[in-house]
A and B are shown apart, each in its own frame.
Chain A
Amino acid sequence: MLNIYRNTNEWPSFVPFALFDLPESGRTSGNLRQDLERVFGSYGQSLNGPLAQSSESAQLRDAGSDLIVTIDLPGVSKKDVDLTISGDNIFIRATRTLSAPEGYTAHRRERSSFKFEQAFQLPVAVESKTAVANLRDGVLTVTLPKSPNAQPKQITVKAG
């Protein structure tokens, strides 16, 4: 499991912006890809990182009581990932440094090193204490339980 930093005093300076435009039903829409491209566009273009390959590589899913963020980070080890969560903000930092294996000559090098740094504003506040992050199969999965106020509720309609 990854270390998650919850100390808001060490919050890096950034301008948070609304990333995920969830419709009122609380489900992700077809606009998500557009939103991700808008947000990740500069990263993808300037660094030719994994997100440049696919807009599918970062996703937000509303799983009812949790928000689930997944980001493709192939070849990134967990010591090179930092997460900071506070309220409805999440800051993710990940680096991949590639070098030719020793004694080998390169014929083709399309894979690139990258430095991923991104702040997101989530659609609702989350409980940082019970957030869980996992790096597996080259994918970072962050499970963010919604704060009690943001939990889905069913309201019973009473007859007059």
Chain B
Amino acid sequence: MTQNIAETVKTSAPELAQRAREIVPPVDIYENDHELLVLADLPRVTPENLTVEVNQPELKIEGRVPSANHKSDIVYTRTFRLDSSMDVAKIEAKIIEGVLEVHLPKSEPYRVRKIEVTGA
């Protein structure tokens, strides 16, 4: 199976580093015939403080946990580079019990299809 998604490592912007503590969340990436599935542990992140952004060819996940007791915010961030096989318009994301799920459907030409062989 080909690798349709590769990680982009970025150094944090200095203004972000001052206000927030960046954490790289652990991520699982799965694939089946129809889609890629990205799972990330983002405890304490609520949907309002979470952005999943696709700016071709990049997929960026960013979840912010507002500070408690005057400490700096925590920002979970991870960026991946997508190849052209994803149907960007159909990407869906949800967060359940602190675990983010991003579904990245493959565009039609890249889906695995079983062809029925007919006899003569």
Chain A positions within 8 Å of B, measured between CB atoms, are: 28, 50, 53-54, 56-57, 59, 61, 72-77, 98, 100-101, 103-112, 135, 137-139
Residues B31 and A110 in contact, CB atoms below 8 Å apart? no
Interface contacts (Cβ under 8 Å), in number, total 90
Known contacts A28-B69, A75-B41, A110 near B26 by CB under 8 Å: yes
Task: Note all chain A residues with C-beta closer than 8 A to B43.
Answer: 50, 57, 72-74, 137-139
Residues B98 and A108 in contact, CB atoms below 8 Å apart? no
Residues B23 and A111 in contact, CB atoms below 8 Å apart? no
- Cα distance A137–B100 in the bound complex, in angstroms: 10
Chain B's interface size range is 20 to 34
- Cα distance A109–B31 in the bound complex, in angstroms: 12
Partner of A108, one of B24, B27, B71, B99: B27
13 pairs, A vs B, C-beta closer than 8 Å = A50-B41, A53-B25, A59-B68, A61-B68, A75-B41, A77-B97, A104-B37, A111-B26, A111-B27, A111-B39, A111-B40, A139-B43, A139-B44
Known contacts A50-B43, A73-B43, A110-B26, A56 near B74 by CB under 8 Å: yes
- Cα distance A26–B30 in the bound complex, in angstroms: 47
Residues A107 and B5 in contact, CB atoms below 8 Å apart? yes
- Cα distance A74–B39 in the bound complex, in angstroms: 11
Tell me if A's interface is mostly helix, strand, loop or mixed.
loop
Task: Note all chain A residues with C-beta closer than 8 A to B21.
Answer: 56
Asked if B45 is at the interface of the complex by the 8 Å CB criterion, the answer is yes
Residues A104 and B31 in contact, CB atoms below 8 Å apart? yes
Of all chain A residues, which has the CB nearest B44? A139
Of all chain B residues, which has the CB nearest A106? B30
Known contacts A54-B23, A73-B43, A74-B42, A100 near B30 by CB under 8 Å: yes
Residues A107 and B30 in contact, CB atoms below 8 Å apart? yes
Residues A105 and B44 in contact, CB atoms below 8 Å apart? no
Residues B30 and A74 in contact, CB atoms below 8 Å apart? no
Residues B26 and A101 in contact, CB atoms below 8 Å apart? no
Task: Note all chain B residues with C-beta closer than 8 A to A110.
Answer: 26-28
Task: Note all chain B residues with C-beta closer than 8 A to A74.
Answer: 41-43, 97-99
Residues A104 and B74 in contact, CB atoms below 8 Å apart? no
Other A-B contacts than A57-B43, A104-B37, A110-B28, 8 sampled, CB-CB below 8 A, are A61-B68, A74-B97, A76-B97, A104-B32, A105-B30, A111-B26, A111-B28, A138-B45
- Cα distance A98–B3 in the bound complex, in angstroms: 22
Of all chain B residues, which has the CB nearest A103? B32
